[in-house]
């Protein structure tokens, strides 16, 4: 890649990561914190507070993507980050669960994922686009892992309000990156296309829709997990929330010793299908093992390590896979649908997870996640992913 492409990839990955940190930092601690505020004793409202972010994301992603085509990528990204900062401040000042839900809804209204991804495509040549998409996907996995370790320590030091203030400050940093570091995309002339025709083509594209289902399932599962896991560690494992980092830190560090070589092997050894399907299978096994080991800290660490391996592999590989199989002429729309399904998974994971806990108990969450992962695995086996060759990829991008 050229210096400009590396600069674009790294800075856009950082913007994506800083914004996703606003989602992930509350996951390890919020379910426990909610018990201390009015309305937080209802698991359904707790799940809604965690997942509300994804609702407005899903509602506005395609709209923001279209706006970025018309008004420019950077103005739309800056507007979205402004909404995100505002929502973070509302949540930081909240004294009950209902105001936090409002702040989370406002945070999610800064739906810039499609605009950021489209800007990455604008600033990179076709032959390097997969690398930049992998940078963005990897940044999400890295931020998720970091948040699992940092959130309990931050909660002990500055509380939940302080975490939301920190999230607002990080979003301001992302705005600074957008203005002063990210290169400006060259002006392009595009031919308007009928949105219904494009969406119909995407919905009929089997490999794309299976990857869309994958990102939906992955984020629904991980959000449902963190509706229940922090409370399980506190009550069944006897570990105060301020010490949960002792569980997350070894799990995260051990996961990277496996995850990074696996991704390298998948890329260099042309084992994308094997590594991808294996990660989905591992995700399914984790759901069954994690809830069966409730109360045993060492077993929980072991299963969480396997979860982080699977999650980070899938989070890094899927954007790369998407960029390889997107048909020519519909990149923006295809990525908008992909990001929308990701956000729907986040929203439903919080809402459904909270409702299931309230109605049926925590163990049912694990079974539901396991069944969803099994369905995803079945799709991978019945319809194995077929990647185009480098020659075909180059031809498709022209």
pLDDT digits (tens, 9 = 90+) for 196-229: 566 777 777 788 888 899 999 999 998 888 888 8
Question: Hey, how many other C-beta atoms are within 10 angstroms of the C-beta on 22?
Answer: 28
DSSP collapsed to 3 states, 234-297: HHCCCCCHHHCHHHHHHHHHHHHHHHHHHHHHHHHCCCHHHHHHHHHHHHHHHHHHHHHCCCCH
- 382-385's contacts with Cβ under 8 Å and 24+ in sequence apart are 383/206, 383/207, 383/210, 384/273, 384/277, 385/207, 385/210, 385/272, 385/273, 385/276, 385/277, 385/321
**The predicted structure's pLDDT at residue 60:** 87
- Report the pLDDT value the prediction gives residue 134, as an integer from 0 to 100: 66
Of these ranges, 184-198, 232-246, 315-329, the one predicted with the greatest mean pLDDT is 232-246
Q: Are 9 and 132 in contact (CB under 8 A)?
A: yes
pLDDT of residue 1: 74
- 313-372 pLDDT per residue, tens: 888 788 777 767 776 556 666 777 888 888 888 888 888 888 888 888 778 888 889 999
Find the CATH number of the domain harbouring 127.
Answer: 1.20.1250.20
- CB burial of residue 207 (10 Å; 0-12, 13-18, 19+): middle
What confidence category does residue 191 fall into, taking pLDDT thresholds of 50, 70 and 90? very low
Residue 236 has pLDDT above 90, yes or no: no
Over residues 176-204, mean pLDDT:
70
Residues 6+ apart with CB under 8 A from 370: 284, 287, 288
Instruction: Using CB atoms within 10 Å of the CB of residue 172, give its burial: 0 to 12 exposed, 13 to 18 middle, 19+ buried.
Output: middle
Tokens of 95: 């004294």
Number of domains in the chain: 1
Output the pLDDT for position 141.
67
Instruction: Quickly state the pLDDT bin for 138 (edges 50, 70, 90).
Output: low
pTM of the complete model: 0.76
Decide if 187 is inside a domain. Answer: no
Q: Is residue 189 part of a domain?
A: no
322, 211 in Cβ contact below 8 A? yes
pLDDT at site 127: 62
The pLDDT confidence band at residue 397, using thresholds 50, 70 and 90, is very low
Q: State residue 216's pLDDT score.
A: 93
The distance of Cα 261 from the centroid of its chain, to the nearest Å, equals 22
CB-based contact 348:220 (threshold 8 Å): yes
Give the pLDDT confidence of 11-41 residue by residue, as tens digits: 888 888 887 887 788 888 898 899 899 998 8
Range among 93-97, 114-118, 180-184, 291-295 with highest mean pLDDT value: 93-97
User: What pLDDT does 130 receive?
Assistant: 61
- 186 located within any domain: no
| The pLDDT value given to residue 329 | 58
Confidence category of residue 176, pLDDT binned at 50, 70, 90: very high
- Quote the CA–CA distance of 69 and 221 in Å, as a whole number: 32
Is 71 within a domain? yes
**89, part of any domain:** yes
Tell me: pLDDT of 128 over 80: no
- The arithmetic mean of pLDDT across residues 300-318, rounded, is 84
Instruction: Quote the percentage of the chain above a pLDDT of 70.
Output: 87
Q: 374: number of CA atoms within 13 Å, CB side?
A: 9
Domain region containing 331: 3-181+194-397
User: At 85, is the pLDDT very low, low, confident or very high (cuts 50, 70, 90)?
Assistant: very high
pLDDT of residue 392: 47
Average pLDDT over residues 176-194: 71
Q: What is the pLDDT of residue 377?
A: 94
Nearest-5° angle of CA 65, CA 171, CA 308?
85
Q: Are 210 and 339 in contact (CB under 8 A)?
A: no
Structure tokens at 292: 């069966």
Cβ atoms of residues 324 and 199 within 8 Å: no
- Band the pLDDT of 194: cuts 50, 70, 90: low
In this model, does residue 67 exceed pLDDT 70? yes
List, for residues 256-279, the tens digit of each pLDDT value.
788 778 877 776 656 778 888 999
pLDDT digits over 371-389, tens only? Answer: 999 999 999 899 887 665 5
Residue 54 has pLDDT above 90, yes or no: no
Mean pLDDT value of segment 138-144: 73
Residue 175: which pLDDT band, with cuts at 50, 70 and 90? Answer: very high
Per the CB < 8 A criterion, the answer to whether 139 and 89 are in contact is no
What does the pLDDT average to over 105-127?
Answer: 83
**Chain mean pLDDT for the chain:** 82
């Amino acid at each position: 890649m050229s210096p400009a492409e590396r600069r674009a990839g790294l800075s856009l990955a950082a913007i994506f990561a800083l914004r996703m940190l606003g989602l992930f930092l509350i996951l390890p601690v919020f379910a426990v914190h909610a018990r201390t505020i009015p309305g937080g004793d209802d698991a359904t409202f707790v799940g809604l507070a965690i997942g509300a972010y994804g609702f407005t994301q899903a509602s506005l992603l395609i709209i923001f993507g279209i706006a970025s085509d018309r008004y420019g990528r950077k103005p739309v990204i800056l507007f979205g980050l402004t909404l995100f900062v505002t929502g973070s401040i509302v949540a930081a000042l909240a004294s009950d669960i209902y105001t936090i839900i409002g702040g989370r809804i406002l945070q999610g209204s800064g739906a810039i994922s499609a605009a950021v991804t489209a800007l990455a495509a604008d600033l990179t040549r076709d032959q390097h686009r997969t690398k930049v998409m992998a940078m963005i996907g990897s940044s999400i996995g890295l931020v998720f892992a970091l948040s699992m370790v940092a959130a309990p320590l931050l909660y002990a030091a500055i509380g939940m309000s302080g975490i939301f203030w920190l999230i607002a400050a990080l979003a301001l940093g992302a705005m600074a990156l957008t203005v002063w570091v990210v290169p400006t995309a060259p002006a392009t002339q595009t031919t308007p296309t009928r949105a219904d025709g494009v969406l119909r083509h995407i919905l009929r594209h089997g490999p794309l829709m299976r990857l869309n289902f994958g990102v939906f399932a992955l984020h629904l599962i991980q959000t449902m997990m963190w509706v229940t896991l922090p409370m399980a560690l506190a009550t069944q494992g006897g570990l105060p929330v301020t010490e949960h980092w002792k569980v997350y830190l070894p799990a995260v560090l051990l996961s990277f010793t496996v995850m990074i070589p696996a991704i390298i092997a998948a890329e260099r050894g042309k084992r994308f299908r094997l590594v991808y399907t294996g990660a989905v299978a591992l995700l399914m096994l984790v759901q069954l093992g994690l809830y069966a080991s409730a109360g045993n800290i060492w077993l929980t660490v072991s299963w969480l390590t396997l979860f982080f391996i699977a999650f980070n592999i899938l989070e890094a590989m899927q954007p790369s896979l998407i960029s390889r199989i997107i048909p020519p002429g519909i990149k923006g729309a295809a990525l908008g649908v992909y990001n929308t399904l990701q956000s729907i998974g986040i929203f439903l994971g919080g809402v459904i997870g909270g409702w299931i806990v309230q109605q049926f108990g925590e163990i049912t969450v694990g079974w539901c996640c396991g069944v969803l992962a099994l369905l995803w695995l079945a799709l991978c086996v019945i319809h194995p992913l077929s990647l185009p060759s480098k020659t075909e990829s180059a031809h498709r991008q022209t």
